[in-house]
A and B are shown apart, each in its own frame.
Chain A
C-alpha cells in the first residue's frame, strides 16, 4: 500500500464545493480520504514522516490541467521532449497535459498516438493527446477519428493552423460529435494574416511589421459557430467546438452569443493574453511573438472580463518551446510561441486573483475542473474520494520572480523572464507519486 498524508492545508476543490482546512489521504494513486483536521490522526501516527506532507499555510488543490501544450516529440527534440516538457508541467503544478499534434511527423495515426503516449517517453505527469483533425494537418482528408479515440485521443485539432475549408470542418465536427469529443480550433483566417507577425494596429505600424487583424480570429469563430448551428439542425448530433487561445473581444462576443443560444462551444485563454499587450513586443522581442499575437489593451481586458464572467471555460498555456537560436533571428522569421507551464499559476493568481478579484476557487476551477470538463476527463480536476490522486500544493501568498534559466523546460523563450509571480508551487503529486517538490 502506497500512502501519502497531506496535513494542515487549505483544501480548495471547487468540484466538491470544499474551501477550508482539510487533511488528505492518498492511497495507491487515488484520493482515499478528505477529512477535517484531526480526523486522520491515527494515520499520522502510523505513517513514516517521509510519507507526510505538512501543507500548513498552503493551498491543496486538484492538480492543474493544461489542455494545450506543445511537447515537440517526436521530431523536434532539440526544442523539448515529452520528459522535459512534462517536468516543467510538474514544476508548474500541472498533473495532466494535452499534447498538440504538430510534431514531426504530425500525430495523425494510431501508431503515432500510441508511441507518444507510451510510458517509454518518460512523461512525469499524465499525458493525453489531441491528434490531428486532418491527415498531416494539411486541411484535406479527415483522420481516422474512431480508431484514434479508442487509442486515447481526447479531441482533434490542426493546431498551429486552422481547419479552413467549410466542408472539412463540418465533417470533422460531425465525426467528433459521434465519438463525444471536441474539435479544437486554432481560429485564424490565414487568408488575412499572410506575412503578419504581430497584432495589427499602431504598434505594428510603428515597427514596420505586418499586423494580424482581430477579424482573422473572429471570422473563423463565426464560421465555426454557423457550422455548429447547421449541424445541430440537420444531423441529429450535437457537435462540440472548442476555440483555442481566444485573444480578441470580437471572438469572445461571438462565443458568448453562441453559448447563450445553447450551442456546445467552449474556449480557452492563455496567460500571456490576459497579462501582456502588443506593447511587450518592444524592440522586436521574439519572446513576445506567438500566434494569436499579443493584442491591444482593450482585447486583454475583454479576455479578463470573459474569464470573470465564465465565457472562457479554462486557462491553457499553449506552452510552445523553441531553441534559443531559433528565436535569435529577425522578428518576422522567428517561430511563434512562448513557454508557459511554469508561469501559468503565478500569472493567473497575480493578474486574475489579486488584480481583478477572481476568487481563488474560481482560478483553480479554470485550471482544473473546467479544463477537465472540456475534454470529458473523469476523475481528474477534483479531490473527491476515489479520484486520481492528482494534487498541487502551493503557497498562494508567495511572491517571487520567474527566472527562465531555472526552467525545467529545455526552452527559454518566455516573455516572463524576471516577471513577478504570485503563488509558488511547493509540491505536485500525480496519481499518488510526488513528481515535483520545491
Chain B
C-alpha cells in the first residue's frame, strides 16, 4: 500500500489504545466545530453517556429554569427535505431552552433560486445563527456545511447516510423500555440485547446510525430485508452486525424490532412487489404475538400503516413509537445545549 492509502487505512482500522470506532471518532471530527453532531461515528461512548446524562438532567429541571439556558441564543433550522417529527422536535426543544429559532426550507427561500448550501450557510451565520440543524437529501451535506461555516452543525438526516439524533433517541427509548439506566451508558449497557432492524436498510440513514451505534454499547444488531434493500455491503458498517433474510427468524431473536418505511422516493427504478413485501416483511399483529410477544416495537416514522407495520401493532401495547417521538424532544434538547456549549 502507498503512503496515502496507508494513512486512510489507519484511520479506518484504528491502532493504539482506543478501539477502532473510538479512534475513528477522534480522527474525523477534527474538521468540524465542537458541539457538532454529523455522524454517530464521531461520538465516543463517553460522549453518548454525556448526552444521555444531560438529557436526564434537562428532563428533571423545572421548565422555567430550563427556558433560561439558551436565552438570547440563535439556532437555525435548515430543511431541504420535508419532516414532521425531527423538525418540530428540534424546534420545540430549542424553544423550551429559550433559544430563538428560525426555519429555512428549500421551498420558500433563495435555495429555490439556486443558492448553494455553502452560501445559505454563510448567510445564516451572518444573520447570527450560532448552530445549524440541517436536513438534506444528499449524503455528506452536513459535513460540507460544518466545514464551510465553521459552526456547530446538527445533522438531522443527510441523504442515506446518517441521522444521529434519531439513533440517540432510539437508544434512550430502548434503555427505558428494557428498564435499564437511561442516564448513562458504557460498552456493556446493551449486553444481551438483540435489535432487529427490518426493511429498507439500503436507503435508511436511521438504520445506518443505529447499526453503527448500538453494537458499540453491547447490542447485537440483526438486519433483515430483501437483498435489493439490504446488500451484503451492510456488514461493513461495523462489528456486531448480522444479516438475517427471514423476518420470522430475525424477529424470534429480537428484544427490539425496529421497522422501517420503504423509501419510495429513493428506490431509483427498483420495481417492488408490494404484496409480496407485505407478506414477507410486514409486522402484523399475528406475527408479533406468535413470534415476539415481548419485543418492543420501534419505528422512526413516518409509518405507513398496512405496509411495513399493521395499524394495530403501531397502536398496540408493544409499540414504543410515540415514546420515541417524546424522547426525540428530550434528547434534542441535550444536543442543542451541547452544540452551543452550555452546561446543563
B259 to chain A, nearest CB (A): 20
Q: Please tell me which stretch of A128-136, A137-145, A197-205 contacts chain B, meaning at least 4 of its Cβ atoms lie within 8 angstroms of it.
A: A197-205
Q: In residues 156-214 of chain A, which contact B (Cβ within 8 Å)? A: 194-195, 200-210
Interface 1/0 per residue, B132-165 and A, CB below 8 Å: 0000101111011000100000000011111000
- Is there a chain A Cβ closer than 8 Å to B69's Cβ? no
- Is there a chain B Cβ closer than 8 Å to A420's Cβ? yes
Considering only CB atoms, which chain B residue lies closest to A347 in the complex?
A: B2
Q: Is the CB of B162 within 8 A of A284?
A: no
With a cutoff of 8 Å between Cβ atoms, the chain B residues found around residue A330 in the complex are: 117, 136, 138, 140-141, 144
Q: Is the CB of A282 within 8 A of B8?
A: yes
Once the chains are docked, how many angstroms separate the CA of A328 from the CA of B143? Answer: 11
Interface 1/0 per residue, B226-250 and A, CB below 8 Å: 0000010111110000000000000
Known contacts A284-B144, A355-B2: does B205 contact A328 (CB below 8 Å)?
Answer: no
- Is there a chain A Cβ closer than 8 Å to B208's Cβ? yes
With a cutoff of 8 Å between Cβ atoms, the chain A residues found around residue B237 in the complex are: 205-206
Q: Is the CB of A332 within 8 A of B233?
A: no
Q: Which 8 A-B pairs have the closest CB atoms?
A: A202-B236, A284-B140, A208-B161, A208-B160, A330-B138, A208-B139, A205-B233, A279-B8
A417 to chain B, nearest CB (A): 11
Q: Is the CB of B236 within 8 A of A194?
A: no
Give the B-binding residues of A (Cβ under 8 A): 194-195, 200-210, 275-277, 279-280, 282-284, 297, 300, 325, 328-333, 350-351, 355, 416, 419-420
Once the chains are docked, how many angstroms separate the CA of A350 from the CA of B235? Answer: 34
A213 to chain B, nearest CB (A): 11
From B4, B143, B235, contact of A280 by CB (8 A)? B4
With a cutoff of 8 Å between Cβ atoms, the chain A residues found around residue B265 in the complex are: none
Q: Is the CB of B236 within 8 A of A206?
A: yes
Q: Is the CB of A351 within 8 A of B2?
A: yes
Interface size on B, residues (CB 8 A): 38
Known contacts A194-B269, A202-B233, A204-B233: does B5 contact A331 (CB below 8 Å)?
Answer: no
- Is there a chain A Cβ closer than 8 Å to B344's Cβ? no
Considering only CB atoms, which chain B residue lies closest to A419 in the complex?
A: B4
Known contacts A205-B231, A205-B233, A206-B236: does B4 contact A283 (CB below 8 Å)?
Answer: no
- Is there a chain A Cβ closer than 8 Å to B116's Cβ? yes
Among A207, A275, A351, A355, chain B packs the most CB atoms within 10 A around the CB of A207
Q: Is the CB of A328 within 8 A of B9?
A: no
- Is there a chain A Cβ closer than 8 Å to B31's Cβ? yes
Q: Is the CB of B143 within 8 A of A284?
A: yes
With a cutoff of 8 Å between Cβ atoms, the chain B residues found around residue A207 in the complex are: 139-140, 161
- Is there a chain A Cβ closer than 8 Å to B65's Cβ? no
Once the chains are docked, how many angstroms separate the CA of A206 from the CA of B269? Answer: 21
Known contacts A205-B234, A208-B160: does B138 contact A332 (CB below 8 Å)?
Answer: yes
Interface 1/0 per residue, B188-229 and A, CB below 8 Å: 000000000000001001001000000000000000000000
Besides the known contacts A194-B268, A208-B139, A280-B4, 13 further A-B residue pairs in the complex with CB atoms under 8 A apart: A201-B236, A208-B140, A208-B159, A208-B208, A209-B139, A210-B268, A283-B140, A284-B140, A284-B144, A297-B5, A329-B116, A329-B118, A332-B138
B67 to chain A, nearest CB (A): 36
- Is there a chain A Cβ closer than 8 Å to B47's Cβ? no
**Can you list 14 A-B pairs with a CB-CB distance of less than 8 A?**
A205-B237, A206-B208, A208-B205, A275-B5, A277-B5, A282-B11, A283-B28, A284-B140, A297-B1, A297-B5, A328-B116, A328-B144, A328-B148, A330-B144
A435 to chain B, nearest CB (A): 30
Interface 1/0 per residue, B311-337 and A, CB below 8 Å: 000000000000000000000000000
With a cutoff of 8 Å between Cβ atoms, the chain A residues found around residue B208 in the complex are: 206, 208
With a cutoff of 8 Å between Cβ atoms, the chain B residues found around residue A355 in the complex are: 2
Q: Is the CB of A275 within 8 A of B2?
A: yes
Once the chains are docked, how many angstroms separate the CA of A275 from the CA of B6? Answer: 11
A295 to chain B, nearest CB (A): 12
B268 to chain A, nearest CB (A): 6
A332 to chain B, nearest CB (A): 5
- Is there a chain A Cβ closer than 8 Å to B276's Cβ? no
With a cutoff of 8 Å between Cβ atoms, the chain A residues found around residue B236 in the complex are: 201-203, 205-206
With a cutoff of 8 Å between Cβ atoms, the chain B residues found around residue A297 in the complex are: 1, 5
With a cutoff of 8 Å between Cβ atoms, the chain B residues found around residue A280 in the complex are: 4-5, 8
Q: In residues 1-23 of chain B, which contact A (Cβ within 8 Å)? A: 1-5, 8-9, 11-12
Among A209, A275, A284, chain B packs the most CB atoms within 10 A around the CB of A284
With a cutoff of 8 Å between Cβ atoms, the chain B residues found around residue A210 in the complex are: 268
Once the chains are docked, how many angstroms separate the CA of A173 from the CA of B118? Answer: 45
With a cutoff of 8 Å between Cβ atoms, the chain A residues found around residue B28 in the complex are: 283
Once the chains are docked, how many angstroms separate the CA of A210 from the CA of B1? Answer: 26
Q: Is the CB of A276 within 8 A of B5?
A: yes
From B1, B158, B233, contact of A201 by CB (8 A)? B233
Once the chains are docked, how many angstroms separate the CA of A259 from the CA of B208? Answer: 44
With a cutoff of 8 Å between Cβ atoms, the chain B residues found around residue A195 in the complex are: 268
Known contacts A279-B12, A283-B143, A330-B138: does B158 contact A208 (CB below 8 Å)?
Answer: yes
Q: Is the CB of A279 within 8 A of B5?
A: yes
Once the chains are docked, how many angstroms separate the CA of A332 from the CA of B11? Answer: 23
A354 to chain B, nearest CB (A): 10
